C-alpha cells in the first residue's frame, strides 16, 4: 500500500508499483503547469537526486516534493479572521458580509489583506490562493490553499465535479420543493452584472426548499458550476429573487443579499473527504426567526 507523509515544507510519497514519474504525479493531481514548475525549480527529488525530467519509478522509491517559500504583495490588515479550520494545506475562513476578497477602489480593507497578516504572524511564507470567491455582501466559507499543490489538488476535483458547494438563502415567494436551474450566463462588459445569454457559459444550480412562510422561502442551494452572480441570477430568473438583492430585482428591504455559503466539501490531499461548515451570521439568523422560517427540527439541516 502506498504511503504518504506531509510536512510544512515537503510532501513525500513512497511508490507502491513501477510507474513513470509524470504518470505518478498525475495520479496525485499535479497539474501540467505544476509539474513543469517543479522540474524548472528543482523541487522534485528521487533517491536523494533532484529530478528535472520524466524518469522511471520503482516500488519502494520515495518521491519528494519541496514546497517553495513564496511572498505575497498584500498590505497587512490586522483584523482577526474567523477561522473555521486550518492545517498545512488549507486555511478555511467564515467570511463576514460587507468584505471584499481583494482591495477595491474605495475599500482598502479586504480578506486578502487580513490573510496576509495572519500568514505573517504564523511565519507562513506563501501566496494567497483562493479556491473559491464570494461577493462582497455574501458571507460564508472561503477556502485558501497554502501552496500550489493543495490548489491543484482541489482544482482537479472541480474538473471531475467532485467538489460540493452549498449555500442557504432566503428568497421571495413560495419556491417549488426542489429543482435544477440550467441557464447559460455571461458577464456584461463594463458592469458588475452578468446576464442570460445563449452564447454564455453553461451554469447549473440545484435547489431544495427547506421551509416557507408568509411569502418567503428558505432554500438550500448547490452550486454545480461557478459563474459570476450565478445563484443570484438563477433565482431571479425563476421569479424568486434573493431577499435584499436589489441588483437583480428584490423588492424586500434587507441590508444585503440574504445569501450565505454554508459548506464546502472535497477530498483532502491526505485522502479523506472533508466538509467544512460556516455558522450562519446573526443578520440572517434574525431574519429567519422574524419570518418564522426555521422550525426546530430544521436547525440541524442548516447547521445552526
What is the 8-class DSSP label of residue 282?
Answer: H
Residue 147 sits at φ, ψ, to 5 deg, of -155, 170
Buried b (16+ CB within 10 A) or exposed e, 123-147: ebebbbbbbbbbbbbbbbbbbbbbb
As annotated, the active-site residues are 135
CA-to-CA distance for 169 and 232, rounded, in angstroms?
A: 10
CA-to-CA distance for 116 and 123, rounded, in angstroms?
A: 10
With a CB cutoff of 8 Å and minimum separation 6, the contacts of 137 are: 97, 98, 256, 257, 259
Amino acid at each position: 500500500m502506498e504511503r504518504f507523509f506531509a510536512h510544512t515544507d515537503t510532501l513525500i510519497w513512497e511508490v507502491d508499483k513501477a510507474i513513470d514519474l509524470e504518470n505518478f504525479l498525475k495520479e496525485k493531481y499535479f497539474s501540467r503547469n505544476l509539474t513543469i514548475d517543479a522540474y524548472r525549480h528543482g523541487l522534485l527529488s528521487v533517491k536523494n537526486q533532484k529530478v528535472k525530467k520524466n524518469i522511471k519509478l520503482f516500488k519502494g522509491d520515495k518521491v519528494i516534493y519541496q514546497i517553495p517559500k513564496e511572498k505575497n504583495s498584500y498590505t497587512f490588515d490586522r483584523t482577526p479572521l474567523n477561522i473555521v479550520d486550518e492545517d498545512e494545506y488549507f486555511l478555511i475562513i467564515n467570511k463576514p458580509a460587507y468584505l471584499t476578497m481583494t482591495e477595491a477602489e474605495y475599500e482598502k480593507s479586504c480578506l486578502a489583506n487580513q490573510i496576509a497578516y495572519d500568514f505573517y504572524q504564523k511565519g507562513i511564507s506563501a501566496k494567497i490562493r483562493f479556491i473559491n470567491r464570494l461577493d462582497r455582501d455574501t458571507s460564508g466559507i472561503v477556502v485558501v490553499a497554502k501552496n500550489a499543490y493543495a490548489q491543484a489538488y482541489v482544482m482537479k476535483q472541480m474538473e471531475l465535479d467532485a467538489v460540493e458547494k452549498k449555500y442557504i438563502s432566503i428568497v421571495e415567494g413560495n419556491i417549488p420543493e426542489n429543482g435544477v436551474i440550467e441557464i447559460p450566463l455571461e458577464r456584461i462588459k463594463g458592469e458588475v452584472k452578468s446576464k442570460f445569454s445563449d452564447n454564455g457559459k453553461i451554469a447549473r444550480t440545484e435547489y431544495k426548499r427547506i421551509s416557507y412562510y408568509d411569502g418567503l422561502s428558505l432554500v438550500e442551494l448547490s452550486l454545480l458550476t461557478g459563474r459570476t452572480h450565478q445563484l443570484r441570477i438563477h433565482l431571479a430568473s425563476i421569479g424568486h429573487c434573493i431577499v435584499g438583492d436589489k441588483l437583480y430585482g428584490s423588492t424586500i428591504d434587507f441590508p444585503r443579499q440574504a445569501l450565505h455559503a454554508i459548506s464546502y466539501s472535497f477530498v483532502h490531499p491526505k485522502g479523506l473527504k472533508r466538509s467544512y461548515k460556516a455558522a450562519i451570521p446573526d443578520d440572517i439568523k434574525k431574519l429567519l426567526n422574524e419570518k418564522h422560517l426555521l422550525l426546530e427540527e430544521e436547525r440541524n439541516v442548516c447547521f445552526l
